[in-house]
Structure formats: structure tokens, C-alpha cells
């Protein structure tokens, strides 16, 4: 029997609206994932460092403030700097559809927009975490 998938959730920048990401954390825990929630106003370096310490398979980044492209790029760069190329990144929040190709080009495995169902959210994050273990 393999260990539960491990996920880390966080919010970067000045975005302080965290109700949604807390709901997602509960959904993932209920689905059997070990979840670490870092909270709001975290830097990409702090997230990458925590990912290394916690040995996570996936990072869920929540963005409601419009700075998702900058923060996703910074996070991917920091993960590489820590040798964590195998950690999947999933982004959720109020994200414009037209930004999805740029996020995918950065290496973001899934983008979850407003209105995503519990099944879609848990499924996308679980698949991304599982892919990290297979890579």
C-alpha cells in the first residue's frame, strides 16, 4: 500500500481571500490526501522551501488578485532551483481563460476556474499529484 498523496496549498502576493482554498484543503483531506496549508501572503521561495521540507507531490496555488502569471512563473523557477522539477503545480481561482495556455507553457498541470465542482477539483489535483509520483 502506498503512502497518501501529499499536497501543499498556499496563496501568494497580497491576495488575502482564503475561504476557497480552505474549502479545497478540506475536500482534499476528505479524499485521503495529506494537505499542508501555508496560508496567505506567501512568497514563491517560502512555498518552494516548504514543498522541499514536506516532500509534497503537488502544490495548489490559489489566485484571486490577477497576478497569477507572475507568481506561477516565480514558483516554477523556485521549484527548479530547489531541485523539485517533479512537483506538480495546480492553479485555481479567478483566472482568465486566455491565460491558460501561458500557464500550461510554464508547466502548470491543471487550471481550476470558478464553478469547478468538488469532483473536478479533487480529480485534477489528485491526477497532478499522481503524475508527479510517476514522473
pLDDT digits (tens, 9 = 90+) for 61-102: 998 878 899 999 999 999 999 999 999 999 998 889 999 999
Q: Which three cell numbers stand for residue 29?
A: 483531506
Which pTM was predicted?
A: 0.93
Q: Write the burial class of residue 131 (CB in 10 Å: 0-12 exposed, 13-18 middle, 19+ buried).
A: middle
* Distance between CA atoms of residues 14 and 83, nearest Å: 27
34: DSSP letter: E
The C-alpha cell that represents 93 in the structure block:
481561482
Cβ atoms of 7 and 34 within 8 Å: the answer is: yes
**What percent of the chain clears pLDDT 70, i.e. is strictly above it?**
96
Enumerate helices (H) and strands (E) in the chain, giving the number of each: 5, 5
Amino acid at each position: 500500500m502506498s503512502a497518501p498523496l501529499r499536497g501543499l496549498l498556499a496563496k501568494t502576493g497580497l491576495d488575502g481571500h482564503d475561504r476557497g482554498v480552505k474549502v479545497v484543503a478540506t475536500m482534499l483531506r476528505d479524499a485521503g490526501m495529506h494537505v499542508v496549508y501555508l496560508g496567505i501572503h506567501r512568497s514563491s521561495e517560502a512555498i518552494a522551501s516548504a514543498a522541499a521540507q514536506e516532500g509534497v507531490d503537488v502544490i495548489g496555488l490559489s489566485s484571486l488578485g490577477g497576478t497569477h502569471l507572475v507568481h506561477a512563473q516565480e514558483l516554477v523557477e523556485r521549484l527548479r532551483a530547489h531541485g523539485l522539477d517533479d512537483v506538480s503545480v495546480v492553479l485555481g481561482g479567478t483566472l482568465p481563460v486566455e491565460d491558460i495556455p501561458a500557464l500550461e507553457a510554464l508547466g502548470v498541470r491543471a487550471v481550476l476556474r470558478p464553478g469547478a465542482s468538488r469532483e473536478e477539483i479533487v480529480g485534477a489535483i489528485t491526477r497532478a499529484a499522481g503524475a508527479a509520483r510517476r514522473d
